[in-house]
Amino acid sequence: MSDPLTPGAMVVSLDFELHWGMRDHSPATGPVTAELVTSRAMVTELASMFVERSVRATWATVGFLFASRRDELDLFRPELRPRYERTELDPYLETVGRDEDDDPVHLAGSLVRHLALSPGQEVASHTFSHFYCLEAGQDEAAWRADLAAARAIAAAGGIEVTSLVLPRNQWNPRYAAATRECGFTCYRGPQPSLGHRPGGSPTTLAARRAARLADTYVGLRPPPTTSWAEVAEADGLCNVPASAFLRPYSPARRVLEPVRLARLVAGLRDAARRGRIFHLWWHPHNFAALPQPNLDLLARLLDEFDRLSASDGLRSLSMRDVADVAVSPERGPDA
């Protein structure tokens, strides 16, 4: 059974990035554009589903998407920017259209406002510019400028962002103090497994992709969960690490779907029964190509959450909620 002071929690976070998250390897044309435009509707559908089912989710949003118009975005572009050695990583080279109607894959202020008004939904940061803090050519000064811009464009819309998700899970612990000083209280650390370590050569990245795929379908253990005692770190930040990526449905692997669901359910049950945290994440665009089977799987997971909530007190918490609970004196030092 779970500790009554700190019962288990399910955390859901989504990386809301549209084309900014894939621009270094996929141009904003052709099939990619169609899928990303479709994923805009998925944002509102998922938000409605979460509100209806009382799921508190964290939407880690690229700062560029807070703008509805290019001239609005231009007001917040920092003067100090990363100078990546790999120029394809530089988002400031991307052409941005006039407004959301003209460029729905780079501007999304209306969707951000919708999320901010949806009960239980936390709008968080995915950095301002989809910043890669382990890549050559960036430094702490550029990192601070990026986070300041992310907070500023959010604040202009009446939103305070305090949770942070790192693009490509590239967390740089040397930037912890800067992150805290910029107003952030927590971040989503990488899933603690070999396949989810950030960075590396193309060869090791391919090996890690294979490891992640195997982990999704044939892992011998449930996805990792996090104890409450591990959340608050000595540097003053809270780490709410990932437990599992909700990989999109694949018709080619449909016979393995029961195994995938069973592993995710096992992670939820472990969190519920041991009073730990299960953190599930994905991108809204992951559901765009085949929405129904993806939504069906999510609904089955949420059905299991409802059962565990009733039997073991499992709670739905946002990343901000977890940080608040982790540093709460009522929780107790040994909880």
Token duo for residue 5: 């002071």
Mean pLDDT, the chain, integer: 92
Given a cut of 70, whether residue 334 has pLDDT beyond it is no
- pLDDT for residue 19: 98
Token duo for residue 88: 């394809």
Token duo for residue 241: 């690490």
Per-residue pLDDT, averaged over 50-78, amounts to 98
Percent of the chain topping pLDDT 90:
84
Over the stretch 130-165, which tens digit does the pLDDT of each residue have?
Answer: 999 999 999 999 999 999 999 999 999 999 999 999
Q: Which residues are CB-neighbours of 121 under 8 A, at least 6 positions away?
A: 47, 50, 51, 56, 57, 59, 115, 318
Alpha-helix runs per DSSP H in 75-198 = 109-116, 140-156, 176-181
Of 1-5, 26-30, 241-245, give the lowest mean pLDDT range: 1-5
- pLDDT for residue 29: 86
Per-residue pLDDT, averaged over 275-303, amounts to 97
- pLDDT for residue 154: 99
Token duo for residue 303: 């059905």
Per-residue pLDDT, averaged over 20-41, amounts to 92
Interatomic CA distance for residues 10 and 8, integer angstroms:
7
- HSE value, Cβ hemisphere, 13 Å, CA-based, for 216: 18
Of 17 and 221, more confident? 17
Predicted model pTM: 0.92
Over the stretch 189-227, which tens digit does the pLDDT of each residue have?
Answer: 999 865 545 655 555 555 455 455 556 556 557 899 999
Chain-centroid distance of CA 198 in Å reads 15
> 33: burial class by Cβ within 10 Å (0-12, 13-18, 19+)?
middle
In the chain, domain spans: 9-194+223-328
Over the stretch 99-119, which tens digit does the pLDDT of each residue have?
Answer: 999 999 999 999 999 999 999
Confidence of residue 30 (pLDDT cuts 50, 70, 90): confident
Helix (H) or strand (E) holding 59, with range, is strand 57-61
Confidence of residue 1 (pLDDT cuts 50, 70, 90): very low
Q: What is the CA radius of gyration of the chain?
A: 19
- pLDDT for residue 284: 98
The letter for the amino acid at 189 is G
- pLDDT for residue 193: 62
Instruction: Report which of 239, 50, 13 is spatially closest to residue 126, judged by C-alpha positions.
Output: 13
Could you tell me the CA-to-CA distances from 287 to 25, 38, 291 in Å, in that order? 20, 9, 5
Task: Classify domain 9-194+223-328 at the CATH class level.
Answer: alpha beta
Compute the residue count for the chain: 335
Rounded to 5 degrees, what are φ and ψ at 329? -65, -25
Over the stretch 308-321, which tens digit does the pLDDT of each residue have?
Answer: 999 999 999 999 99
Interatomic CA distance for residues 92 and 128, integer angstroms:
11
Over the stretch 226-280, which tens digit does the pLDDT of each residue have?
Answer: 999 999 999 999 999 999 999 999 999 999 999 999 999 999 999 999 999 999 9
Confidence of residue 331 (pLDDT cuts 50, 70, 90): low
3-class DSSP assignment, residue 172:
coil
Interatomic CA distance for residues 9 and 315, integer angstroms:
5
Cβ–Cβ < 8 Å for 189, 171: yes
Q: Which residues are CB-neighbours of 158 under 8 A, at least 6 positions away?
A: 116
